[in-house]
């Protein structure tokens, strides 16, 4: 038997040694941890190595754009074959990295603004997709099989020791920083400004996690992703909102929830202080929220509907408003909003009664996806929040109302609601026989179709035609028939049989507006608590400062 002393000595600090060598190489291009702006490219070309796994922030909203632009400008002869981990592929230079040969492989969660271009690059083999993740899934893998060698982040302020203030848009920064800092990755941060330690409003990330900081050439890009102008909410969105409030929120006493992005859910937010008030629902529903500071939430907050909001990130123009409402928002001792995308996703997965959101396509089994022909947009956090988490153990009336099973096997169910028009802009049907994602997945060589939310997780579908209560179905045929009944004259809806639909209405699997006592004649813009961005500013008492593209007064 070989003794310990006779075995070949294995090294257990190769990553640490490799990082120390990188930092020695980078030392020539910085003063302590501070990198001069003009020397950032040289630093990257010495610290980043061919084949590295690089986590780039690319968040849902904020972007480390100075770092991404500089990396994309590096010499492909020196940096190449990178494996990029970008949660939100939102910037053109994110894909320039691949076209220039600097990067070859990509793991992502969302690519809305670049969805068409990324589909083209995948099709021609320029981008190799590792996987399309949910946000939490991608971050979790950074602690398992995808630990980054280099991390590129952004912050509002940094001091010379690397302590960071991330402000209202903390989002993903602490999680990605930890994945790098504690597994010997190099952590590089662009800051809007480098200040004295006493000027940091609070320390969101300690300097011991950070290797380099650089003052960016301009403030990091922040997309107003959750801002919806009420002027673009029409009668169809208002009708769907009325149906949802009566047929889901009121019926199931939904107290805690997450709203997806879009005009459909914005309409619900703006109907709570009007239509919801008429129904006497204030204090009974929609009290606890997990969502960004949507400007369209302002009237509901001001009307006393909302008790708490925990946010994934901030929203442009909402910082002063959120700071002025500390009873509602989670704010730091400095007075500013504190957000965290991973904790928000976990709250949206486990702590809420309901997730409600839309999709680009839904098939006859209620499977949905935002990946369509020619568009690879990803999913973001919808799959995390849009499923029934079997690990949940706390009960609420809404969760218990959907309970199933007997004895020790009995458990409640989270409401997962698909809210969608039967047709999208241009007369494109939302409800289709087969998701485009099936063919897209095959063409991209994916082992599974990129489905966003699986149909067996969907408890309700709401359209302007009515509600399908899928959780009540006793068979797959019941589910399909109920969905077809509210799918309009789409390919799925044309399968509906009038007699079968009437039987489903009697059994409570389908409800039309008249079954819910929704007066369709009232579905017009007069019901909206605010009909313009200017109205939202007025509701906020001038605290909301909308981005310039939303101002026209």
Question: Is residue 94 helix, strand or coil?
Answer: helix
Please state, in angstroms and as integers, the Cα–Cα distance from residue 285 to each residue in 252, 256, 309, 402, 501, following that order: 9, 8, 14, 17, 30
Taking the C-alpha atoms of residue 544 and residue 259, their distance in angstroms, rounded to an integer, is 20
Burial of residue 70 (CB within 10 Å: 0-12, 13-18, 19+) is buried
Taking the C-alpha atoms of residue 406 and residue 457, their distance in angstroms, rounded to an integer, is 20
Helix ranges, 245-318 (H): 251-252, 263-271, 277-278, 298-302
> Given the structure tokens 């302007």, which residue do they identify?
464
Distance CA(487)–CA(421), nearest Å, equals 8
279/467 Cα distance (integer angstroms) = 19
pLDDT in tens, 95-150: 999 999 999 999 999 997 899 999 999 999 999 999 999 999 999 999 999 999 99
Nearest-angstrom CA–CA distance, 381 and 341: 9
Pairing assessment for the beta strands 415-419 and 460-463 based on DSSP bridges: parallel
Kindly list the structural domains of the chain, giving each domain's residue range(s) and its CATH number in brackets, ordered by start: 27-222 (3.40.1080.10), 230-535 (3.40.1080.10)
pLDDT at 374: 85
Complete DSSP assignment for 509-539: SEE-GGGGT--GGG-SGGG-S-SSHHHHHHH
H or E element in which residue 323 lies: helix 319-323
Give the span between the Cα atoms of 17 and 541, in whole angstroms.
Answer: 56
> Rounded to an integer, what distance in angstroms lies between the CA atom of residue 102 and that of residue 170?
28
Residue 112, pLDDT score: 78
User: Considering the entire predicted model, what is its pTM?
Assistant: 0.94
Question: From CA 259, how far away is CA 250, in angstroms rounded?
Answer: 16
Q: For residues 45 and 26, what is the distance between their CA atoms, to the nearest angstrom?
A: 9
- In sequence order, the 6+-apart residues with CB closer than 8 A to the CB of 428 are none
Q: What is the b/e burial string over 141-155, where b = at least 16 CB atoms within 10 angstroms of the residue's CB? A: bbeeebbbbbbbbbb
Evaluate whether 295 touches 266 at the Cβ level (below 8 Å).
no
pLDDT for position 373: 87
What pairs with residue 354 in β-bridges?
A: 257, 415
Taking the CA atoms of residue 402, residue 405, residue 406 and residue 410 in that order, the dihedral angle to the nearest 10 degrees is -60
Q: How many whole angstroms from its chain centre is CA 9?
A: 46
Give every CB contact of residue 124 below 8 A, 6+ residues apart in sequence.
Answer: none
Give the helix/strand (H/E) hosting 87.
Answer: strand 82-88
Locate 27 and state its tokens.
């030392």
Q: 385: which DSSP letter?
A: H
Instruction: Compute, in degrees rounded to 10, the torsion defined by CA atoms 508, 511, 517, 519.
Output: 180
The three-class DSSP label of residue 453 is strand
Which residues of the chain fall below pLDDT 70?
1-5, 553
- Separation in Å, CA 263 to CA 169, 235, 360, 397, 535: 23, 11, 13, 28, 16
């Amino acid at each position: 038997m070989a003794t310990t002393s006779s075995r070949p000595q294995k090294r257990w600090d190769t990553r640490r040694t490799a990082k120390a060598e990188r930092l020695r190489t980078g030392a020539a291009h910085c003063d302590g941890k501070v990198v001069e702006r003009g020397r950032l490219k040289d630093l990257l070309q010495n610290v980043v190595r061919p084949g590295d796994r690089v986590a780039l922030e690319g968040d849902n909203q904020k972007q480390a754009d100075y770092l991404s632009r500089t990396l994309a400008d590096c010499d492909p002869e020196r940096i190449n074959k990178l494996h990029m981990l970008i949660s939100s592929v939102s910037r053109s230079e994110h894909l320039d990295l691949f076209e220039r040969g600097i990067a070859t492989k990509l793991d992502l969660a969302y690519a809305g603004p670049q969805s068409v271009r990324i589909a083209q690059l995948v099709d021609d083999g320029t981008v190799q997709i590792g996987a399309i993740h949910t946000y939490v899934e991608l971050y979790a893998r950074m602690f398992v099989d995808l630990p980054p060698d280099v991390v590129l982040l952004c912050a509002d302020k940094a001091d010379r020791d690397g302590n960071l203030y991330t402000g209202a848009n903390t989002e993903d920064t602490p999680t990605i920083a930890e994945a790098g800092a504690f597994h010997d990755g190099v952590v590089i941060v662009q800051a809007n400004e480098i200040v004295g330690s006493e000027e940091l409003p609070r320390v969101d990330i300690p300097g011991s996690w950070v290797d380099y900081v650089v003052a960016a050439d301009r403030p990091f890009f922040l997309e107003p992703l959750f801002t919806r102008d009420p002027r673009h909410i029409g009668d169809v969105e208002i009708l769907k909102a009325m149906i949802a409030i009566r047929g889901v929120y009121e019926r199931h006493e939904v107290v805690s929830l997450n709203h997806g992005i879009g005009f459909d859910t914005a309409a619900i937010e703006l109907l709570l202080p009007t239509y919801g008030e008429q129904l006497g629902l204030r204090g009974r529903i929609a009290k606890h929220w997990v969502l960004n500071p949507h400007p369209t939430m302002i009237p509901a907050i001001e009307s006393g509907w909302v008790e708490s909001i925990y946010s994934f990130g901030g929203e442009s123009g909402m910082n002063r408003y959120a700071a002025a409402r500390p009873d509602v928002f989670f704010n730091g001792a400095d007075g500013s909003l504190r957000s965290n995308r991973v904790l928000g996703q976990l709250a949206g997965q486990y702590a809420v009664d309901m997730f409600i959101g839309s999709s680009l396509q839904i098939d006859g089994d209620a499977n949905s996806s935002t990946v369509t022909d020619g568009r690879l947009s990803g999913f973001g956090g919808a799959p995390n929040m849009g499923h029934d988490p079997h690990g949940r153990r706390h009960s609420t009336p809404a969760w218990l109302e959907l309970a199933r099973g007997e004895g020790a096997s009995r458990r409640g169910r989270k409401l997962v609601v698909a809210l969608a028009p039967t047709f999208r802009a241009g007369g494109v049907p939302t409800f289709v026989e087969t998701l485009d994602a099936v063919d897209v997945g095959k063409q991209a060589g994916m082992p599974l179709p990129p489905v966003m939310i699986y149909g067996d997780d969907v408890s309700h579908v709401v359209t302007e035609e009515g509600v399908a209560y899928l959780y009540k179905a006793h068979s797959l045929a019941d589910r399909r028939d109920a969905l077809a009944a509210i799918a309009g004259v789409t390919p799925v809806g044309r399968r509906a049989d009038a007699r079968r639909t009437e039987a489903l209405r009697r059994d409570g699997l389908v409800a039309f507006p008249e079954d819910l006592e929704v007066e369709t004649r009232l579905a017009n813009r007069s019901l909206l608590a605010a009909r313009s961005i200017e109205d939202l500013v007025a509701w906020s008492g001038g605290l909301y400062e909308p981005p310039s593209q939303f101002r026209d007064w």
